[in-house]
Amino acid sequence: MTEREFSKSVYEATSMIPRGKVATYGAIAKAIGRPKAARAVGQALGANPQPIVVPCHRVVRSDGTVGGYSGMGGVRTKARLLDKEGVSIKAGSIDLGRFLFSEFE
């Protein structure tokens, strides 16, 4: 799989995450058949050319913390976008039991 193909598969999987839900970098990696590539998923999302179309703000760390965001405003913007979509962040973490999306097909 080329880097371009990898990124495309990351963007396609990320696009499946519905408003009001989040997925982890690891879950995206697993969904695209590369379960050990969570960091590479983060790198691909950091280079996301279509941040509105591909909702990279909906991808968080496996411990429920927000993680990085390369869009304008950084992590603050990511947290604001998630809040607008109904994903609450308390003490810097998201309740994955409540907001986790994992039904990738």
Number of domains in the chain: 1
> What is the CATH number for 12?
1.10.10.10
Q: Is residue 21 part of a domain?
A: yes
Q: Has residue 72 been placed in a domain? A: yes
- Mean pLDDT, range 10-25, rounded to an integer: 97
Q: What is the mean pLDDT of the chain?
A: 94
List active site positions: 56
> pLDDT tens, 44-84?
999 999 887 899 999 999 999 998 888 888 899 999 999 99
Structural domain range at position 69: 3-99
Average pLDDT for residues 18-42, to the nearest whole number?
97
Name the nearest CA neighbour of 41 among 80, 6, 16. 6
Number of CB atoms found within 10 A of residue 88's CB = 11
